Amino acid sequence: METLVHPSLDRTAEPIPSIASIASIVEPVLSELFDEPPQIAFEFWDGSVVGNDIVGRIRFTSPTAFRHLMWSPDELGLARAYVAGDVDTTGNVAELLRALQQAHRPGSAAAVRHCAETPSAAR
């Protein structure tokens, strides 16, 4: 008699490829938001990091932080995420905000907001 094994339980099946780090997914978005890389490291809940830690570090503790930033891709969204505990910082907060502002590409926040409001972007 033949034993049937569900493919998901078959240990001889091809291994599932690992998911890319959050930093590798977010890095292209950051390059669209900034003319030059800000002197800030961005750390994500999976432990991955992008950027350099010259001025300080912004740590996203959960995916919810991105929800705040997608709906308000400016200081307000960052402040909401910070107050909610979804973002933490190291370094002087005023210097972090100044570094973000200096590196920011004009009009990029509107582009992010447009993507958030587009139904196909939600998929």
Contact 51, 90 (CB under 8 A): no
pTM beyond 0.85: the answer is no
- In the block, residue with structure tokens 């993507």: 115
Residue showing tokens 């200096």 = 102
Which DSSP string corresponds to 95-111?
HHHHHHHHHBPTTHHHH
**pLDDT tens sequence across 6-43:** 455 555 555 555 678 999 988 988 888 888 888 999 99
Reply yes or no on domain 22-122 having CATH 3.40.50.
no
Q: Distance between CA 87 and CA 70 in Å, rounded?
A: 14
Tens-place pLDDT, residues 56-93: 999 999 999 988 888 887 788 889 999 999 999 999 99
